[in-house]
Amino acid sequence: MAGPAIILYALLVIGAVVVVWLITRRRRTAELPYLSGGEARRAPVITAARRRALIAVLFAVVVFLVGAIAAVSIPNLLGMPLAVAPLIAGAAGLLLYAATPPRSVEVPDDQPRTAGLARRSWLTVIPGGWLHASVEILVIFVAVIVFCGLTADVDEQGRSRAIRFDAVDQSSTASPYPGWFYGVPALIALAVLVVATIVALQRIGATAAFPHPDDVDADTQWRRASASVVLSLSTGAVLFPLGGISMTAGFAMNNAIIERATPVVWDVIADVLVIMGILSLVLSVVAVTLAALTAFTIGDSVARVEKARR
């Protein structure tokens, strides 16, 4: 089941990205002959920003596929790559993004370069609402990991990857269950992703501003759009393992529950985990697709405003 599900997930992401690319490419090609002076001045920088963001998304998808293939082809890993591959893939894409040098607007020697005095940091470039949403998803992820770790039992080889229910005259055990065996590596990978996200956002905040006074809005727009790409990719990287861990935990609980002996609350928890897992997997596709869509359209909002003014 894991192999076809992973392939389907990857095909959904790749298909969505291709569709978005075709739509935005056709629209942007039709608009290129009508670039104004401001748009022409910013075009090389905006193009470089789009390329950098898109490469980060694609690189993350490739790293994820490598980890998924390892999980499917090497059974001895017991599915461990699926718990960490999305998080490491997201971190790899964001670190590549941060390491790629940004392009700056060239200013002729006889023209002054201007810049705002407002201080920028990784926090100031985050679009409204993203910070709270990202923190909430992280809290849910950690809560699910800790809950599964605390409720896990050891398997026949002493690894925390099973769940066990006991009754008066019987017991029931199911595995795999995402206990600490999967949870601890996932938390470590999550910490790496958080650091990579902050590094990428800081790179956006520290990039030199557009030197022309008329480009203040454009400068703000490309930073927020680029930050949206970073946060969408990071969110998708968290939602996929959250979905997989939640679904695995819910199915294992249902398999281990002893009918008419295990408290009904465990049935409720199992169903909630399965539903949350499915929702998280769907949202992970949406998040990665949103990252690609935003990467393709960095700078478009400013161009539309300028055309409306003309």
The lowest-confidence range among 17-21, 46-50, 272-276, 282-286 is: 17-21
Alpha carbon distance 234, 71 (integer Å): 21
Q: Percent of the chain having pLDDT more than 90?
A: 38
The answer on pLDDT for 132 being more than 70 is yes
Confidence band, pLDDT 50/70/90 cuts, at residue 307: very low
Radius of gyration of the chain (CA): 23
Give the pLDDT confidence of 201-244 residue by residue, as tens digits: 988 887 766 666 666 677 778 888 889 999 999 999 999 999 99
Q: What is the mean pLDDT of the chain?
A: 80
Check if the beta carbon of residue 126 is closer than 8 Å to that of residue 201. yes
Give the pLDDT confidence of 80-118 residue by residue, as tens digits: 888 899 999 999 999 999 998 876 555 555 555 555 545
Q: Which two tokens stand for residue 167?
A: 């009754």
The lowest-confidence range among 126-135, 158-167, 275-284 is: 126-135
3-state SS of the chain?
CHHHHHHHHHHHHHHHHHHHHHHHHHHHHHHHHHCCHHHHHHHHHHHHHHHHHHHHHHHHHHHHHHHHHHHHHCHHHCCHHHHHHHHHHHHHHHHHHHHCCCCCCCCCCCCCCCCCCCCCCCCCCCCCCHHHHHHHHHHHHHHHHHHHHHHCEECCCCCEEEEEEECCCCEEEECCCCCHHHHHHHHHHHHHHHHHHHHHHHHHHHCCCCCCHHHHHHHHHHHHHHHHHHHHHHHHHHHHHHHHHHHHHHHHHHHHCCCCCCCHHHHHHHHHHHHHHHHHHHHHHHHHHHHHHHHHCCCHHHHHHHHHHC
**pLDDT for position 308:** 39
| pTM of the complete model | 0.83
The answer on pLDDT for 6 being more than 70 is no
Give the pLDDT confidence of 67-79 residue by residue, as tens digits: 888 887 888 888 8
The lowest-confidence range among 14-18, 72-76, 85-89, 144-148 is: 14-18
- Most confident range (mean pLDDT) of 47-56, 100-109, 298-307 is 47-56
**pLDDT for position 190:** 96
Per the model's pLDDT, the better-predicted residue between 162 and 46 turns out to be: 162
